[in-house]
Amino acid sequence: MQTYIVTGCAGFIGSTLVDKLLSQGQHVIGIDNFSTGRHRFLEGALKNSYFTLMEGDLLDFDSLKHFFSGGEFVFHLAANADVRFGTEHPQKDLEQNTIATFNVLEAMRANDIKKIAFSSTGSIYGEPDIFPTPEDAPSPIQTSLYGATKLACEGLIQAYCEGFDFQSWIFRFVSILGERYTHGHVFDFYKQLKSDSTQLKVLGNGKQRKSYLYIQDCIDAMQIAIEKATDKINVLNLGVDGYSEVNDSVKWISEELGVNPKLEYAGGERGWIGDSPFIFLDTKKIRSLGWVPKHSIRDGVVKTVKFLKNNGWVMESRK
């Protein structure tokens, strides 16, 4: 048993990880600024005496250094996870991804904590030429502020491993789906259909091919990797061994809701500036550690829709 620090503990992935760690009898210090995190996701955790919530911002280094006291392993999941709107506020990506990660690394150093797991993204591959895309794909060209600022985090973490003898697990996620999902295309489609089930606006041409992973499979993968991958720096793609089209999601969501909307495509291969029209990661490396996802992309989409149906509050309030 040890004490885990989870940044972004009130977020989709963070809160699910917190619950999992607590169920395993671990101690957890959770940190969140509640800019997008939800207090309700921590309702269960807050009843557990092994959980300590620290409300604060990763950009406030002095507080952070204090919060990290007593921690042994850091899951750094806090981020500006909004890949779409980078060009509207580039500073936000730089601050909430790169500078926040730098502060996390410095707070670790100040508290002599040397192990970190980090939620990076398949977006760092930009628009790769190789599919499925392996971890050692040719040096990518960045196409989004989100990807660029996440790649910067990866580099900093790696340099701290070399310079300060840290050990790291860098996970390049596809999009994650499931309970507590609060942004992304399933959320957007559900919200539109809830307000008008007869029509649906789809960004791009609907043929964008993307890969997804169900939240519990994601948590399992991270825990297996941390246990079994023993290099100083472990870079691992996380995703299912396949992809679907945006149009597939539309179909599965519509079926689950029993609706048949008229589709209106914005057009073009990309949903937005910097969108990658094809994401499909090579997951041989994480599979070689014995991990297999238990849920298909369709499962993930359907479970997400069920969660949104039963939790109308996530659409309405931010807290």
Closest CA to 174 of 187, 165, 185: 185
Q: Does 99 bind a copy of itself (CB under 8 A)?
A: yes
Residue of 102, 131, 187, 278 interacting with a copy of itself (CB under 8 A): 102
Cβ proximity of 126 and 270 under 8 Å: no
Q: Record the tokens describing residue 108, joined without a space.
A: 């670790």
Nearer to a copy of itself, 154 or 299 (CB): 154
Cβ proximity of 75 and 20 under 8 Å: no
Nearer to a copy of itself, 86 or 261 (CB): 86
Q: Does 138 bind a copy of itself (CB under 8 A)?
A: yes
Q: Does 284 bind a copy of itself (CB under 8 A)?
A: no
Q: Does 175 bind a copy of itself (CB under 8 A)?
A: no
Q: Does 86 bind a copy of itself (CB under 8 A)?
A: yes
- Give the span between the Cα atoms of 5 and 63, in whole angstroms: 14
Q: Which segment (12-20, 159-167, 181-189, 192-200) binds a copy of itself by CB under 8 A? A: 159-167
Residue of 47, 49, 163, 195 interacting with a copy of itself (CB under 8 A): 163
Residues 6+ apart with CB under 8 A from 154: 118, 120, 124, 170, 235
Nearer to a copy of itself, 21 or 105 (CB): 105
Closest CA to 116 of 56, 70, 160: 160
- Cα-based angle 219, 221, 226 (whole degrees, multiple of 5): 100
Q: Does 282 bind a copy of itself (CB under 8 A)?
A: no
Q: Which segment (19-27, 102-110, 220-228, 309-317) binds a copy of itself by CB under 8 A? A: 102-110
**Partners of residue 6 on adjacent β-strands:** 30, 75
Nearer to a copy of itself, 72 or 106 (CB): 106
Question: Hey, which residues between 216 and 275 contact a copy of itself (CB under 8 A)?
Answer: 233, 235, 273-274
Cβ proximity of 91 and 146 under 8 Å: no
Virtual torsion, Cα 13, 176, 137, 269, nearest 10 deg: -140
Binding site for a copy of itself (CB under 8 A): 86-87, 90-91, 94, 98-99, 102, 105-106, 126, 135-145, 147-149, 151-152, 154-156, 158-160, 162-164, 233, 235, 273-274
